Amino acid sequence: MKTKTTKIIFWSGAIFMSLWFGASGFFELTKNPVVWDITRQLGYPPHFIYILGVFKLSGILVLLLPNRLLRLKEWVFAGMFFDIIFAFFSKIVVLGFPATIDAIVAFTVLSVTYLMFRKLYTPELIYGEA
Protein backbone atom coordinates (compact mmCIF):
# COMPACT_ATOMS: atom_id res chain seq x y z
CA MET A 1 0.00 0.00 0.00
CA LYS A 2 1.34 3.42 -0.92
CA THR A 3 2.07 6.03 1.73
CA LYS A 4 -0.54 8.38 0.23
CA THR A 5 -3.24 5.72 0.56
CA THR A 6 -2.13 4.95 4.12
CA LYS A 7 -2.34 8.66 5.02
CA ILE A 8 -5.81 8.97 3.49
CA ILE A 9 -7.08 5.94 5.42
CA PHE A 10 -5.44 7.15 8.64
CA TRP A 11 -6.80 10.70 8.44
CA SER A 12 -10.26 9.50 7.37
CA GLY A 13 -10.38 7.20 10.39
CA ALA A 14 -8.90 9.82 12.73
CA ILE A 15 -11.50 12.38 11.64
CA PHE A 16 -14.34 9.86 11.91
CA MET A 17 -13.25 8.78 15.41
CA SER A 18 -12.74 12.40 16.44
CA LEU A 19 -16.27 13.27 15.37
CA TRP A 20 -17.59 10.17 17.16
CA PHE A 21 -15.70 10.75 20.41
CA GLY A 22 -16.08 14.53 20.16
CA ALA A 23 -19.86 14.30 19.98
CA SER A 24 -19.92 11.72 22.75
CA GLY A 25 -17.63 13.79 24.99
CA PHE A 26 -19.62 16.97 24.35
CA PHE A 27 -22.90 15.19 25.13
CA GLU A 28 -21.42 13.74 28.33
CA LEU A 29 -20.27 17.17 29.52
CA THR A 30 -23.58 18.85 28.65
CA LYS A 31 -25.71 16.08 30.19
CA ASN A 32 -27.46 15.32 26.91
CA PRO A 33 -30.33 13.02 27.94
CA VAL A 34 -29.72 10.44 25.21
CA VAL A 35 -26.07 9.78 26.11
CA TRP A 36 -26.43 10.54 29.82
CA ASP A 37 -29.43 8.25 30.36
CA ILE A 38 -27.88 5.30 28.53
CA THR A 39 -24.60 5.68 30.40
CA ARG A 40 -26.43 5.88 33.73
CA GLN A 41 -28.52 2.85 32.74
CA LEU A 42 -25.26 0.96 32.17
CA GLY A 43 -24.38 1.69 35.79
CA TYR A 44 -21.74 4.41 35.48
CA PRO A 45 -21.79 7.18 38.14
CA PRO A 46 -22.16 10.86 37.16
CA HIS A 47 -18.62 11.86 38.11
CA PHE A 48 -17.23 9.14 35.82
CA ILE A 49 -19.34 10.38 32.91
CA TYR A 50 -17.85 13.86 33.25
CA ILE A 51 -14.32 12.44 33.37
CA LEU A 52 -15.03 10.46 30.19
CA GLY A 53 -16.18 13.65 28.47
CA VAL A 54 -13.05 15.57 29.43
CA PHE A 55 -10.71 12.77 28.35
CA LYS A 56 -12.54 12.23 25.06
CA LEU A 57 -12.32 15.88 24.09
CA SER A 58 -8.67 16.09 25.18
CA GLY A 59 -7.87 12.93 23.24
CA ILE A 60 -9.30 14.15 19.96
CA LEU A 61 -7.18 17.30 20.20
CA VAL A 62 -4.06 15.12 20.45
CA LEU A 63 -5.25 12.76 17.73
CA LEU A 64 -5.80 15.57 15.22
CA LEU A 65 -2.38 17.20 15.69
CA PRO A 66 -0.37 16.15 12.64
CA ASN A 67 3.09 14.68 13.29
CA ARG A 68 3.11 15.75 16.95
CA LEU A 69 2.82 14.04 20.34
CA LEU A 70 3.12 10.58 18.78
CA ARG A 71 3.65 8.78 22.09
CA LEU A 72 0.61 10.54 23.54
CA LYS A 73 -1.36 9.49 20.44
CA GLU A 74 -0.58 5.89 21.41
CA TRP A 75 -2.20 6.58 24.79
CA VAL A 76 -5.21 8.16 23.07
CA PHE A 77 -5.65 5.06 20.92
CA ALA A 78 -5.41 2.88 24.03
CA GLY A 79 -7.99 5.01 25.83
CA MET A 80 -10.35 4.82 22.88
CA PHE A 81 -9.96 1.04 22.70
CA PHE A 82 -10.70 0.70 26.42
CA ASP A 83 -13.73 2.99 26.14
CA ILE A 84 -15.14 0.99 23.23
CA ILE A 85 -14.46 -2.39 24.87
CA PHE A 86 -16.08 -1.31 28.15
CA ALA A 87 -19.05 0.13 26.26
CA PHE A 88 -19.42 -3.10 24.29
CA PHE A 89 -19.45 -5.36 27.34
CA SER A 90 -21.61 -3.01 29.40
CA LYS A 91 -24.17 -2.81 26.61
CA ILE A 92 -24.19 -6.53 25.88
CA VAL A 93 -24.86 -7.34 29.55
CA VAL A 94 -27.44 -4.62 30.23
CA LEU A 95 -29.07 -3.85 26.87
CA GLY A 96 -28.38 -6.92 24.73
CA PHE A 97 -26.43 -7.58 21.55
CA PRO A 98 -28.32 -5.20 19.18
CA ALA A 99 -27.19 -2.24 21.30
CA THR A 100 -23.53 -3.09 20.62
CA ILE A 101 -23.53 -2.38 16.87
CA ASP A 102 -22.09 1.12 17.39
CA ALA A 103 -19.25 -0.30 19.49
CA ILE A 104 -18.47 -2.91 16.83
CA VAL A 105 -18.35 -0.24 14.10
CA ALA A 106 -16.18 2.04 16.28
CA PHE A 107 -13.81 -0.81 17.17
CA THR A 108 -13.39 -1.73 13.51
CA VAL A 109 -12.72 1.84 12.36
CA LEU A 110 -10.35 2.47 15.27
CA SER A 111 -8.44 -0.76 14.59
CA VAL A 112 -7.88 0.14 10.94
CA THR A 113 -6.92 3.70 11.89
CA TYR A 114 -4.40 2.45 14.45
CA LEU A 115 -2.88 0.01 11.94
CA MET A 116 -2.40 2.90 9.49
CA PHE A 117 -0.88 5.01 12.29
CA ARG A 118 1.68 2.26 12.95
CA LYS A 119 2.45 2.04 9.21
CA LEU A 120 3.07 5.80 9.05
CA TYR A 121 5.05 6.16 12.27
CA THR A 122 7.74 3.65 13.15
CA PRO A 123 8.57 2.85 16.78
CA GLU A 124 11.71 4.98 16.37
CA LEU A 125 9.55 8.02 15.63
CA ILE A 126 7.00 7.27 18.34
CA TYR A 127 9.33 6.26 21.16
CA GLY A 128 12.57 7.91 20.09
CA GLU A 129 14.42 4.59 20.03
CA ALA A 130 17.60 4.24 18.03
Q: What's the pLDDT tens digit per position in 41-50?
A: 999 999 999 9
What residues of the chain score a pLDDT lower than 50?
A: none
pLDDT confidence of residue 127: 85
In sequence order, which residues have a C-beta less than 8 Å from that of residue 84 and are 6 or more positions away?
A: 103, 106, 107, 110
Question: What's the confidence (pLDDT) of residue 129?
Answer: 65
pLDDT at 125: 86
Is the pTM higher than 0.85? The answer reads: yes
Domain ranges of the chain: 3-127
